[in-house]
Structure 1
Amino acid sequence: MAEGETGGADVPGDEPTPPAEPYDPEPGPEGGLEGAPDDEELPLTEHIEEMFSRLLRVLLVMAVVSGVVFPFAEQIINFLWYSYLQPASAEACAQGVSAARSSACPRVYHPLGLILARLKVATLAGFVVALPVLVYESYLFMRPGLYSHERRYYLASVPTSLVLAVVGLLFAHILVLPAIFTYFLFYSEGAAEIAFSLGQTFELMVLMLGFFAFIFQIPLFIMLAIMMGVTSRRWLADRRLYFWAGFATVAFIFNPDPTGMAPFIVTATMIVLFEGTLALLYWTGDGSLEPTLENATAARPYVWATTGLVGYVLSSLPMPGSYYDAIPTVVVDVIDGVGLLGYLPALVALVIIAIFEGTLLTLKGRATRRSYQTLLRLRRARIPLWITAVAIGYFANPRPPLVQAADSIALPAPTVAAGVLAVLAAYELGLALWRWRRAEY
């Protein structure tokens, strides 16, 4: 018997294993998964050089747009200033008509105040235009390593980024900044006469507009990350409190408003955008564009509650007022003494949250069955309680501007009730038709 031969039946394990066919990510004639044909390994220095070159292109676009806008910056400053500070007007400020109007007029306390304000508004315009350019350049940077469907997602995000930036600007211009400056005009009434510095006040305006242009990109970033498989809705939802804390930290650190009103609104907006995107992803199934009947049915309590809340805000029913006057004077004096009176709404919310989280830690240290069951119930109530704490803290404002804005709408109660019932009826009818069609097919 020759060497290497075996007697008896053949042993399958002794058969030579044919070499495995190499995996080809390119699509075959029948289609299939398309790979990243341009993906290749490059030295780190080349990646860094390309990244900086693309970043320079973004900065160049921003500089060019800023240079184009700069000659018209003074007109934009006047438009923005007198849009938010309604008691004043350009003519009244020029003539010094009355103290009430002059309190809202701009004052220059720095030799370069006007020039710096013009630079800020020009930079804001360049920043908004550069946002989609930044998204596109980042796409070109990562394009060699992206699959075809990922490239489509990324390219679609370029115009979406510009649209979201414009929506953020309009949101800040129409709702947020008028409410903030209305609060500024009257929160110190009776104690001091407020005067607005052109430099610092316009810095707040520009920063808020830029902030909202950027934070309205949150839905785009989340959707893009999930569609490309970087993360999942469940992962984000499980860590939502960390994101909330991060939003609050960013808003309070990088905002020049000393009263705490502006960062409070920025934080609330970021949380609403984050949670709204997660709710949309839950509705559509983690990136699928087709909602499911199960998700639509499970959203019934939220639809009913949100519709009722919106109807209540739009109606002429009395809104809850501020409880600022009910806070003990000693507490107010202590907070004012340490310079945190402007942050009173945030402090109230933090105290409520701290008490709740302290209760959770106390129960966690007890190893009884009853305390464990209570701990589980409280953990399920954590998100609603945090939201309630923020709402309670907001009403610590002496004059909550959003409440005043809601009072100015005051639609007739029958009209609002009819609208709420129509929305809920349409929702329930849609669910019924959906069930019927699915049963038919």
Structure 2
Amino acid sequence: MAAEKSLPPGDREMSLSEHLRELRNRLIIVIAVTLLLMLAIFPFAAGLVDAVLAHAVPSYVKISTYAPMEMFKARVTMCFIGAIAIGFPLLVYEAFRFAAPGLYPHEKRFLYLVFPFSLLLFIAGGLIAYFVTLPLFFAIVLGQGADVATPALSVGETFSIVTNFVAGLGLVFQVPLIIVLAIKMGLVKRETLTRGRLAVYGLLFGVAMFFSPDPTLFSQLIVLAVLAVLFELSMLLTRFI
């Protein structure tokens, strides 16, 4: 009886096999929809890859393929990214429906509050990477000596750099949310972070170095400046929540 009373409202005891069966069924739905979306996007993938590279890479740079499957892999990657972006609501729905029976009402409210902020921060980081950091990175790195020799890049490696920058900076933008959660959960005190601002900035710069590899340090400084602003905003936010 005590075990039943400790269960969240609407939850019931399920065996491990029942949990695995439900997880399998939901994964099948997500994977099937993702594959269908990838097939639908594939005819347009080459144009999308070209548009992405045309925006990120200066016009004087020659984009080439150096392996038989290179362009195909880039198209498949673009299809997967597009399928995840379009099917993301379904992915979130299936994940929530799987976890919801085991969550208490206050835990559900917590997810309702945190998830939209996390998603917005990820999108903001990706947009800054795509529209600011990447063009600046390629312009500075490839601009050195461009008047002597024409730069030539691999489609596969260049597209991989673009996706890593966008995804990496999106993850970096989760740092302020992590700080707020750590303070609210009592893992660290706000006063400790306030007194140790220099150490925090050093840590943020290390994060920027890891997710934005750039020998010129320009992209890291951009990321650091954005993270510093987000850190200060998160510190301000924790005063009122």
Match of 1:168 among 125, 134, 142: 125
Secondary structure of 1:196's counterpart equals strand
Query: Residues 177 and 234 of structure 2 are in contact (CA less than 8 Å); yes or no, is this contact kept in structure 1?
Result: no
CA spacing shift, 1:56–1:146, aligned 2, 3 Å: same
Q: Alignment partner of 1:37: what SS?
A: coil
Unaligned runs of at least 5 residues, structure 2: none
Following the alignment from structure 1 to structure 2, what is the Cα–Cα distance between the partners of residues 131 and 237? Answer: 38
Between 1:257-266 and 1:193-202, the stretch displaced more is 257-266
Q: How many residues align?
A: 235
Q: Does 1:205 align with 2:177?
A: no
Give distance in 2, aligned partners of 1:258 and 1:213: 17
Match of 1:42 in 2: 14
SS at match of 2:8: coil
2:234 aligned with 1:278, yes or no? yes
- SS of equivalent to 1:68: helix
CA deviations on 1:152-198 (whole Å, 9 max, x unpaired) are: 34245555555444333321221111111112212455886532111
- Indicate which of 82, 90, 104 corresponds to 1:125: 82
Answer yes or no: is the 8 Å Cα contact 1:237–1:278 preserved in 2: no
The answer on 1:196 being equivalent to 2:153 is yes
Do structure 1's residue 106 and structure 2's residue 60 form an aligned pair? no
1:52-95 per-residue CA deviation (whole Å, 9 max, x = no partner) reads 54445444444333333222112212222221223x1xxxxxxx
CA contact 2:205–2:220 (8 Å) conserved in 1 = no
Higher relative contact order (CA 8 A, sep 6+): 2
In structure 2, do the counterparts of structure 1 residues 68 and 164 end up closer, same or farther at CA, with 3 Å as the change threshold? farther
Q: How many Å separate the matches in 2 of 1:56 and 1:246?
A: 39
Closer/same/farther in 2, CA of residues 48 and 243 from structure 1, 3 Å limit? farther
Distance 1:160 1:54, change over 3 A: farther
Contact 2:204 2:227 (C-alpha < 8 Å) held by counterparts: no
Q: Deviations over 1:316-359 (max 9, x none)?
A: xxxxxxxxxxxxxxxxxxxxxxxxxxxxxxxxxxxxxxxxxxxx
Query: 1: distance between equivalents of 2:208 and 2:16?
Result: 31
Instruction: Please give the TM-score of this superposition, normalised by the length of structure 2.
Output: 0.70
Q: CA 1:226 to 1:128, structure 2 compared with 1: closer, same or farther past 3 Å?
A: farther
For residue 68 of structure 1, what is the aligned residue in structure 2? 40
* Structure 1 residues not aligned, in runs of 5+: 1-21, 27-34, 89-100, 289-441
Query: 2 CA distance for matches of 1:114 and 1:65?
Result: 19
In the other structure, the counterpart of 2:224 is 268
Q: Percent identity?
A: 25
Residue in 1 that maps onto 2:103: 146
| Shift in Å, 1:139 | 2.7
Q: Find out whether 1:186 has 2:167 as its counterpart.
A: no
- Higher mean Cα deviation, 129-138 or 237-246? 237-246
TM-score by length of 1: 0.42
Q: Relative to 1, partners in 2 of residues 1:130 and 1:210: Cα closer, same or farther, differing over 3 Å?
A: farther
Structure 1 CA distance for aligned equivalents of residues 191 and 163 of structure 2? 32
Which letter does structure 1 place at the counterpart of 2:238?
Answer: Y
Give yes or no for contact 1:132–1:159 (8 Å, CA) kept in 2. no
